[in-house]
Amino acid sequence: MVNFPYRYLVGIDGGGTSCRARICDLDGNILSEAKTGSANILLGSDIAMASIQQAITLAAQQAQLTTADYPTMSVGLALAGAEQQQAWHAFMQQPHPYGAITLNTDAYGACLGAWGGKDGAILIAGTGSCGILLLNGNQHIVGGREFPISDQGSGAVMGLHLIQQVLLSVDGIVPKTELAHHVLTHFDHDIDAIVSWSKTARPCDYGQFSPAIFSFAERNDPLAISLLQQTAADIEMWMQALIFRGAHNICLMGGIGERIQAWLTPPMQHRLATPQGDAMDGAIAMTRSNHNLFVR
């Protein structure tokens, strides 16, 4: 590569549960991969950096590289929490041994990967939700402000709505379906246990019920069907927002996104595209130029 002073490209996909590292040569050939703990920078810049350095160290060892090779590495970081400006700056102020680093969000990395490094739009619907459009050098983000104030169309919000409906069924306000019975059984039919659980429940705790919702919908459970209809409507809301901002086609990604497609209206189904790659591919694409979110 002309005027490119590095020998290795390192892609990092870091979220709340894991940090993945991939080392490639300048032709994009994968030399090694490794995985460590959380790299969400909102949980602490030092914690995220430690996970990243550990992942790169493990991957480097597999590729028979040493610390002497670190200055020849260009590192692309697609990290959860990078959209928070203060956290972004705190992370970037930390010392590191690499030749260059560029930091953007995990959604940005996923979008780059989905569209082969080119302009395009994605909507991630997993435990949380977020939409992003890359267009003419700008990125437009919708949602993604985390549970419970945002994340419509996600497994967490769907699970929250489920618990609310289950409690209404206990009060005799709405019918108690088989899905409601399933949830009550999960809590041993103890309403106080549900209330106590809710005080500390995380998004993933609510999201754990999403597979059951899809399963009971296949059995025509009215509550499950209504929850999936609402989730589909929320996802279409985000898709419309991306279309309004200039998106033509959208890659729907994440565990909910991959399963909800049949519930979308035909016009929105026709807007869907198949991702070309994932956030790791996007992180590698970030290594070749400046993709920093706040400092260009």
pLDDT at 289 over 90: no
Q: Is 38 exposed, middle or buried (0-12, 13-18, 19+ CB in 10 A)?
A: buried
C-alpha–C-alpha distance, residues 48 and 37, integer Å: 8
The tens digit of pLDDT for each residue in 44-58 reads 899 999 999 999 999
Does residue 296 surpass a pLDDT of 60?
no
Contact (CB, 8 A) for 259 and 251: no
Check if the beta carbon of residue 217 is closer than 8 Å to that of residue 228: yes
Distance CA 119, CA 275 (A): 13
According to the model, what pLDDT value does residue 46 have?
Answer: 93
What's the token pair of residue 240? 């419309």
User: What's the pLDDT at 40?
Assistant: 86
Structure tokens at 281: 């591919």
Q: How many CB atoms lie within 10 A of CB 33?
A: 17
Q: Span 155-273: which CATH code?
A: 3.30.420.40
Phi-psi category of 28—alpha, beta or left, where left has phi over 0 and alpha has psi -120 to 50? left
Residues 64-93: tens digit of each pLDDT: 999 999 999 999 999 988 988 999 999 999
- Which CATH number is associated with domain 8-116+277-286? 3.30.420.40
CB within 8 Å of 107: residues ≥ 6 apart: 122, 124, 130, 132, 141, 144
Note the pTM of the prediction, 2 decimals: 0.84
Contact 47, 38 (CB under 8 A): yes
| Residue intervals in the chain for CATH 3.30.420.40 | 8-116+277-286, 155-273
Report pLDDT for 108. 92
Mean pLDDT in residue range 189-199: 98
Q: Is the pLDDT of residue 1 over 80?
A: no
Give residue-wise pLDDT tens across range 213-259.
999 999 999 999 999 999 999 999 999 999 999 999 999 998 999 99
- Sheet strand arrangement including 100-105: 30-36, 19-25, 8-14, 73-79, 100-105
Contact 26, 1 (CB under 8 A): yes
Q: Quick one: average pLDDT of 271-289?
A: 94
CB 287, CB 25: distance < 8 Å = no
